[in-house]
Structure 1
Amino acid sequence: MVNIALWIAAGLLAVVALGGGVIKVFVPPQKLAAAPGGGWTADFGVGFVKTLGVLELLAAAGLVLPAALGIAPVLVPVTAVCWVLLMVGAMITHGRRGESAFVALNLIYLALAAFIAWGRFVVEPFTG
């Protein structure tokens, strides 16, 4: 049962990462800065924002593909730990801007990633 919950959590977080990555990589900077929750991007360079987007795209792949393909499945919990760190940065950035709703959303994503990391490192690690 925990295995199924971990797969669902990883899939949900992968969708979130994919969406965020696509937006940061492909949406023009001015449009991104004008979007709800995107105002922070005006404080950073385009290269930084696009790099975060690429990292999110890699996270989307890293949360699912290693286990699904049976190639280095330990990358799933490693990716989840990296996502936790990314969400800490996002929470700090949104917190400094007074965007408490986005801090709360990032906290939910952080908790989901922590669950995946704990679950795949401790409770239901991939064997093989």
Structure 2
Amino acid sequence: MKYLLDTNAVIALLNRQPQFIEKLTQYKPADFVLSSIVLFELCFGAEKSQRKAENLAKLDKLPFEIVPFTAQDARIAGKIRAELALQGQPIGAYDVQIAAQAISRHLTLITHNIKEFKRVDSLNYEDWL
């Protein structure tokens, strides 16, 4: 099984959060991928941080494959966003895109943001934090 790491999961890794690291070390780096959307969020955070160069360097060292946002992902994201809007249960645009990437690739999303992602039908997710 492969996993897609959400932004808060990568931050837990970068901050060496013990519970998360313990779980992560049960797997190989090849078991995980990073969304290009997650990378964007992380780069944005690094760019506005006081330790910009250090934080960007940490991101460059992440050993995970980056998966691009594709046309298939866009179609799935559009469907998810429309369904949630009709239900009056919207989630953030970036979260919709990340969920779509996980669904289209049959990946389990590793996230601490259960409040948002539990609204997305057919999304497999786990909270390791």
Q: TM-score, normalised by structure 1?
A: 0.28
- Which is helix-richer, 1 or 2? 1
Name the structure with the higher strand share: 2
| TM-score when normalising by structure 2 | 0.28
